[in-house]
Structure 1
Amino acid sequence: MHPSTLLQLALMGLFVASIPLTMVWLSADANKYRKLVWVMAFLTFDLIVFGGFTRLTDSGLGCPDWPGCYGAANPFIAHEQIAAAEALMPTGPVTKVKAWIEMIHRYLAMGIGVLIMALMFQSVRQWRKTHQQAFAPALPVALFLFVCVQGAFGAWTVTLKLQPVIVTIHLLLGMGLLAMLVWLGGREDYLLHPPAPSRDLAGLRALRTLALLAAIVVVLQIALGGWVSTNYATLACDEFPLCDGKFIPEMDFEHGFTLWRELGKTAAGHYLQFSALVAIHWVHRNFAMIVALVLGLAAWRAARQPALRKTAKLIAAVLLAQLFTGIATVFFDFPLAIAVLHNAGAALLVLLVTMLNYKVKHLLDVSQRTPANADLPANSYR
């Protein structure tokens, strides 16, 4: 790729990042570092949702090279190449609309990358000056390294032609980036407004284990959901709760869950049979019951702690909405809006479960360090 194209892409990333940076700088909030963290978390959530839209509209190869589009910085410049590809395959992966969807997704990703670098530089600079815990640079540096890995998988998603395991890992890394930003935002919030301790240490310890289990099952379910989406297995079962008229239909787990293979192919290069797609869909659908059980129990236990009640209610509400949109996707034959909402619900669950884990961990730490804890009324908080 020509150096001028790379320069144009870099300038686009700086331009996208300059908008939220300016908003944070001009805001009345005195703690601009904390505000920047939460703005980045919000934008990362948006990027994940738009990434789901990109995948669901089959726009992942709208520009079949990386990081530009046919070697250009934007689809306007690559108009002739895109028009030629669209003329050859009018319903194929390359169209003008799909090219713009893909490049907008990349521009947003580049902007977030620039924001993460700005956050890292600011944290290191402030840490050297003040040594305040709020600016501890370990997590911002980890975020920078993490986003570099995420960028590499974004490139491989295109260059390896949407290989399912690469696309699924790319999705999981995006969710991981969101979780890290929420964790950092939770740290900034709790340093600014520390919670009062509780004497219910046994309840908090049990809830911490349950919250960790909730995080694990959510990650597994997102991986399974990503595997469904990247293998185009969403409508492999077009009824609910049955699949092909049976509770346990004919399924090919061996080929369905072979990780390293081309899209639509087996590891040996043969076309993937429909029974493999059924297996992929069926596992994701049924694992949702485990997720509902674990998250429902975690939300119920968290609601018994006054400081966690709001988070618990949000988890319960998003969980119900997620179950509804998952079923509706099947009933309504995969409407795009519902499918995008289902992806957004998964990202919201990551955000809320991460928040729950941070709050429980911090609240438990504060309670264990408080000598007067025994004199507090049960579940007492400021």
Structure 2
Amino acid sequence: MYVLQLGLIGLSIALIPLLYVKTKGNRNKFRKLAWVAVFFTFDLIMFGSFTRLTDSGLGCPDWPGCYATATPFLAHSEIRAAETALPTGPVTFTKAWIEMIHRYFAMAIGVLIITLMVLAWVKRKELKQSPWLPTGAFLLVCLQGAFGAWTVTMKLQPIIVTTHLLLALTLLGVLTWLASRQEIVVPDGTLLRWRWFALGGLVLLAMQIALGGWVSTNYAVLACTHFPKCRGDWIPPMDFAHGFKLWRALGRTAGGEIIPMDALVAIHWVHRTFAFVVIPYLTWLGVRLRRVTALRKTATLLLLMLLAQLLTGLGNILLKWPLPIAVAHTGGAAFMLLLLVMLNYHIVTAGRLARAQTRQHSPQADSLGNAGSRSV
């Protein structure tokens, strides 16, 4: 019964953006809904970061509800007992509400994606686009829900939490690509020369995000509290074997012992060092793409977000990981991913359209067309 109540809560939240799209004076409502889904997914990623950084991931230690109820209100006695037994533990009323709000909005996004998928299949002739991309987004959100459950049942195991974050960012990328498909792109064959450079930037950013997720889920941000050196050295003592052992409990080695500080230093140092690869590359890419009129706005935003990301990263280190800056750092990474997906889509699509136009107007195509008209 409580699962049905949870579903109704998620549906009620989803009705707000759905009604907004329905009543908005916009002919292409599918396009509007796709961008709304992107917006809500981005917000959920930031709220998920807030949930993790406030240690609220186990605010309700079961799934999908809270002590087998739909809201913390109904689990009042269980939460009170857990908080009384361990006042500084993972279960409090505040943490329970943070965790459940995160789940409510995740269900609402699921409803939005289901709506997109249904519309894509029903209006596939009108949209003139394959409905398999929104179908893939639906499958992805189902997988994301499974990892959300495992995050709780496996007690915040770092590899599960990191994968949960990466799947959320992948979903954001897929929805951004889907929304970008609804935009008008002017053919431009010259953009294809940037195709592999833009893809390379996306890959490098994805790798850096994965390393950053590993830092966050292992709580290794404060393993190095100075910059540019780490613990007084350019290359401090590090334990890569324990630090990058993927399958282990939070704060433990694979053997169950307390994870050594040198392992946390290794996790932090690799993420910090790889930034010296990613930042120069994306800076170069953004500066070059700003010269292309059609890409100037997106490339400029990428450069601004890159600067903001550098500042929030330094702020996390020098200011001892304050919550607002830590959440902003996650949001900045997600927004940079969104921008790079948009750039990749525009470059690939503009190039393909230009090639298609070239083939249509080639002499061979003209001769075939003339021969066909004569035969008729």
TM-score by length of 1: 0.92
Partner residue, 1:66: 63
Q: Distance in 2 between matches of 1:355 and 1:89?
A: 47
Q: Distance in 1 between matches of 2:66 and 2:128?
A: 43
Contact 2:189 2:352 in 1 (8 A): no
- Identical amino acids, percent of aligned pairs: 55
Partner residue, 1:170: 164
Task: Pick one of 95, 107, 121 that aligns with 2:104.
Answer: 107
Q: Distance in 2 between matches of 1:47 and 1:329?
A: 21
Query: For residues 352 and 373 of structure 1, do their structure 2 counterparts lie closer, same or farther at Cα, with a shift above 3 Å needed?
Result: farther
Q: Distance in 2 between matches of 1:312 and 1:31?
A: 26
Partner residue, 1:52: 49
* CA deviation string 1:191-229 (max 9, x = no partner): xx231x3353xxx23311011111111111111111001
Matched, 1:322 2:309: yes
Letter paired with 1:25: K
What SS is found at the alignment partner of 1:232? Answer: coil
Q: Distance in 1 between matches of 2:80 and 2:115?
A: 38
- Return the offset for 1:63: 0.4
- Return the offset for 1:30: 1.1
Q: Distance in 2 between matches of 1:38 and 1:282?
A: 36
- Return the offset for 1:370: 2.7
- Return the offset for 1:131: 5.2
- Return the offset for 1:373: 11
* CA deviation string 1:83-108 (max 9, x = no partner): 11111111111110000000000000
Partner residue, 2:292: 305
Q: Distance in 2 between matches of 1:11 and 1:364?
A: 45
Q: Distance in 1 between matches of 2:345 and 2:281?
A: 18
- Return the offset for 1:268: 1.1
Partner residue, 2:200: 213
Q: Distance in 1 between matches of 2:360 and 2:268?
A: 49
1:2-81 map, 5 Å: 4-81=1-78
Structure 1 stretches lacking a partner, 5+ long:
375-382
Task: Pick one of 130, 133, 154 that aligns with 2:128.
Answer: 133
Task: Pick one of 210, 220, 226 that aligns with 1:223.
Answer: 210
* CA deviation string 1:219-278 (max 9, x = no partner): 111111110011010100011111111111110000000000000111111110000000
Partner residue, 2:224: 237
TM-score by length of 2: 0.94
Matched, 1:198 2:188: yes
Partner residue, 1:338: 325
Contact 2:242 2:259 in 1 (8 A): yes
Contact 2:120 2:127 in 1 (8 A): no
What SS is found at the alignment partner of 2:228? Answer: coil
Letter paired with 2:144: Q
What SS is found at the alignment partner of 1:92? Answer: coil
Task: Pick one of 234, 246, 258 that aligns with 1:271.
Answer: 258
Partner residue, 2:372: none
- Return the offset for 1:123: 1.1
What SS is found at the alignment partner of 1:263? Answer: coil
- Return the offset for 1:301: 2.1
Structure 2 stretches lacking a partner, 5+ long:
362-376
Give the superposed CA RMSD: 1.4
Contact 1:199 1:373 in 2 (8 A): no
1:272-291 map, 5 Å: 272-291=259-278
Contact 2:189 2:350 in 1 (8 A): no
Which shifted more, 223-232 or 291-300?
291-300
* CA deviation string 1:24-64 (max 9, x = no partner): 10101111111000000000000000000001111000000
Contact 1:61 1:102 in 2 (8 A): yes
What SS is found at the alignment partner of 2:182? Answer: helix
Contact 2:151 2:161 in 1 (8 A): yes
Q: Distance in 2 between matches of 1:232 and 1:264?
A: 8
Contact 2:312 2:328 in 1 (8 A): yes
Letter paired with 2:73: F
Partner residue, 1:380: none
Contact 1:50 1:105 in 2 (8 A): yes
Contact 1:224 1:283 in 2 (8 A): yes
Q: Distance in 2 between matches of 1:366 and 1:117?
A: 30
- Return the offset for 1:372: 9.8
Contact 1:213 1:294 in 2 (8 A): no
Q: Distance in 2 between matches of 1:297 and 1:188?
A: 29
Matched, 1:89 2:79: no
Q: Distance in 2 between matches of 1:221 and 1:311?
A: 20
Partner residue, 1:182: 176
Q: Distance in 2 between matches of 1:73 and 1:199?
A: 54
Q: Distance in 2 between matches of 1:310 and 1:340?
A: 25
Partner residue, 1:370: 357
Contact 1:251 1:279 in 2 (8 A): yes
